[in-house]
A and B are shown apart, each in its own frame.
Chain A
Amino acid sequence: DQQVKQNSPSLSVQEGRISILNCDYTNSMFDYFLWYKKYPAEGPTFLISISSIKDKNEDGRFTVFLNKSAKHLSLHIVPSQPGDSAVYFCAARVRSYNTDKLIFGTGTRLQVFP
């Protein structure tokens, strides 16, 4: 039962254009969402996050949008650069009296070509 889904395994975008990475979730109790970027042979690195009480968060070229009614979030990268080529994971936080953890999606491989 995949609670966080990234339905596009890969995405190819031309340099300078917008990259849009999508993520869907099923658990309405998620209260925080994060995006991580991963290069080969390295660990994931944190990119940007958003609280469930917001619908947009921006940091430089990166913007995350959250649509709670659709249980959908997206990461926009504008403009895309070759160095953005990596695997992107979305993650959602679930918190209760005895747990506080992230559930990760399966990742989307982004390739930015010249």
Chain B
Amino acid sequence: NAGVTQTPKFRVLKTGQSMTLLCAQDMNHEYMYWYRQDPGMGLRLIHYSVGEGTTAKGEVPDGYNVSRLKKQNFLLGLESAAPSQTSVYFCASSFAGGNQPQHFGDGTRLSIL
């Protein structure tokens, strides 16, 4: 069982470059989420989706865009990377809303120079 798969696992970018992080889940979950984890800050929600074709803002959405064109995929885009976006990014999915356990990927470590 693959569960939640994040691609890539590591990436180094230069300031101003763009990139897309891919999240794929094979559990037929409706909800998907993107979080970032920074030292001393816990997990902070960037954007989430309650179903195919939908997206919603989380706590820290600025500088990021997302798309959910297919139910199994949730893409996180950085249009113009900034050093403040250096972080570990986690994708998660759940069968339904926030009271349902979320299944996480193993993270993408992103460094922006």
Q: Tell me if B56 is interfacial: C-beta within 8 Å of chain A.
A: yes
Q: Is chain A's binding surface mostly helix, strand, loop or mixed?
A: strand
Task: Find B102's partner among A95, A102, A103 (CB 8 Å cutoff).
Answer: A102
For window 85-114 of A, CB contacts with B under 8 Å fall at 89, 91, 93-95, 98-107
Q: Across the interface, do A43 and B106 meet the contact criterion of CB distance under 8 Å?
A: yes
Bound together, the chains give a CA A107 to CA B90 distance in angstroms of 15
Q: How far is the CA of A32 from the CA of B103 in the complex (A)?
A: 17
Interface segment among A44-52, A62-70, A74-82: the answer is A44-52
Smallest distance from the beta carbon of B3 to chain A beta carbons, Å? 9
Q: Complex: how many Å from CA A99 to CA B53?
A: 16
A46 to B41, alpha carbons, bound, how many Å?
19
B109 closest partner in A (C-beta): A41
Q: Is A59 interfacial (CB 8 A cutoff)?
A: no
Cβ–Cβ contact B106 & A41, under 8 A:
yes
Flag A16-58 by CB within 8 Å of B: 1 or 0 each.
0000000000000001101000000111111001010000000
Whether the Cβ atoms of A101 and B45 lie closer than 8 Å is yes
- The CA-CA distance from A65 to B104 in the complex, in Å, is 25
Nearest Cβ in chain A — how far from B102, in angstroms?
7
B58 on the A face (CB < 8 A)? yes
Bound-state CA distance A89–B44 (Å) is: 12
- Chain B: residues with CB nearer than 8 A to chain A? 4, 31, 33, 35, 40-45, 48, 50, 56, 58-59, 90, 92, 97-99, 101-107
